[in-house]
């Protein structure tokens, strides 16, 4: 979460439970210019009455640190990784004498100032796994965070039902592109915030450049266009291909591709979600968009999209020591 000079808060930590109190701490951090760790302990029942009244039965440590033009903290590093669409890892000291000190493992493998092999190894392990964790050192705990670029969503088909899909994805901070061969539909003003391409289906995948961090929805509602797109998408590195339409239609498309000499492996078909979306029920473009975006979110995080109340593991991935 970033607290701007006018006290506007960008982002959230707790969904609103801690932010007001953290703003008070931010005044102190601005005045001192030094980082500080603030602990919120809601494990005691007294917290409901005398504390912030969270009732969460957990402990939250929040590191606050000032940022300025002279001391920008991690912001330039994160911006560079985002602009390059690359993943990196940050290690941050959570106790003196390393409180607020930071080391970075860049996408090219270079490490900025790792003080010992343990932190360097933890950065590499977390970057490879795509998940952060907390480690213990002789100088206290160090938090490892993995910074991933925004999810890249490409929607093939820019009909009216693609509009709520793009809106929801943009609300999540995803980078969104749409392709459609119809000039009347491939209009940027219909999809504010997204990139729009008017290109034939047989050229669309090459035009976009689908890679391992690109998630794809095929919703042209045109059988031959879908067939052409699938022929190019199945061999690609995309981890998710969502295809709208009945299951039988998808089976017919795959069968025709095989008849045309297109080889389809089990691994490729595992990435094909047809029909696409989670089983949420509901009708209309907005409900369908919610189903599609929900499935992509689950796939990108390695989740199944089931009920949280039946989940055996914690809701949030832990940061083991």
Note the pLDDT tens digit of each residue in 191-242: 999 999 999 999 999 999 898 889 999 999 999 999 999 999 999 999 999 9
pLDDT of 55 strictly over 70: no
Tell me the backbone φ, ψ of residue 208, rounded to 5 degrees: -75, -40
Residue 154 pLDDT more than 70? Answer: yes
Between CA 223 and CA 227, with CA 225 as vertex, the angle to 5 degrees is: 70
Query: What is the average per-residue pLDDT within 5-12?
Result: 89
The CATH superfamily of 152-300 is: NAD(P)-binding Rossmann-like Domain (3.40.50.720)
242 vs 223: CA distance, rounded Å:
15
Pairing of strands 152-156, 140-147: unpaired
Beta strand 240-243 with 59-64 is unpaired
Cα–Cα distances (Å) from 192 to 124, 153, 204, 208, 210, in that order, read: 38, 15, 20, 18, 22
d(CA 144, CA 102): 10
Boundaries of every domain in the chain:
73-149, 152-300
Q: Tell me the mean pLDDT in the region 120-144.
A: 92
Residue 46 confidence class, pLDDT cut points 50, 70, 90? low
Query: CA-CA distance, 36 to 30, in Å (whole number)?
Result: 11
What pLDDT was estimated at residue 49?
42
Query: Nearest CA to 175 among 82, 104, 103?
Result: 82
pTM attached to this predicted model: 0.84
φ and ψ at residue 83, rounded to 5 degrees: -65, -30
Average pLDDT, the chain: 90
What number is the average pLDDT over the span 125-133? 91
**Among the listed ranges 49-53, 54-58, 264-268, 291-295, which one has the minimum average pLDDT value?**
49-53
pLDDT attached to residue 319 = 53
pLDDT band at 51 (very low <50, low <70, confident <90, very high): low
CB neighbours (10 Å) of residue 183? 8
In the block, tokens 């809701």 appear at: 315
Please give the average per-residue pLDDT across 22-31, as a whole number. 90
């Amino acid at each position: 979460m970033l607290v701007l000079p006018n006290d506007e808060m960008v982002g959230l930590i707790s969904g609103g439970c801690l932010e007001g109190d953290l703003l008070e701490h931010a005044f102190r951090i601005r005045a001192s210019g030094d980082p500080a760790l603030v602990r919120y302990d809601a494990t005691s029942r007294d917290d409901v009455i005398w504390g912030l009244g969270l009732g969460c039965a957990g402990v939250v440590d929040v590191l606050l640190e000032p940022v300025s033009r002279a001391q920008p903290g991690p912001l330039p590093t994160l911006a560079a990784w985002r602009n390059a669409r690359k993943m990196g890892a940050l290690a941050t000291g959570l106790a003196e004498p390393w409180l607020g000190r930071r080391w970075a493992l860049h996408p090219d493998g270079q490490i900025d100032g790792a003080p010992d092999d343990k932190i360097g190894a933890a950065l590499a392990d977390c970057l490879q796994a795509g998940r952060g964790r907390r480690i213990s050192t002789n100088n206290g705990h160090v938090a490892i965070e993995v910074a991933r670029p925004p999810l890249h969503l490409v929607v093939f088909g820019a009909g009216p039902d693609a509009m709520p899909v793009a809106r929801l994805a943009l609300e999540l901070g995803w980078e969104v592109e749409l392709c459609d061969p119809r000039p009347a539909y491939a209009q940027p003003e219909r999809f504010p915030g997204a990139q729009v391409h008017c290109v034939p289906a047989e050229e669309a995948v090459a035009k976009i450049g689908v890679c391992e961090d690109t998630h794809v929805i095929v919703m042209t509602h045109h059988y031959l266009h879908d067939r052409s797109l699938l022929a190019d998408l199945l061999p690609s590195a995309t981890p998710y291909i969502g295809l709208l339409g009945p299951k039988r239609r998808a089976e017919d498309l795959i069968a025709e591709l095989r008849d045309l000499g297109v080889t389809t492996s089990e691994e490729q078909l595992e990435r094909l979600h047809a029909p696409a979306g989670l089983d949420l029920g509901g009708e209309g473009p907005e409900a369908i968009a919610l189903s599609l975006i929900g499935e992509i979110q689950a796939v990108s995080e390695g989740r199944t999209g089931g009920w949280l109340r039946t989940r055996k593991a914690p809701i949030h991935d832990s940061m083991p020591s």
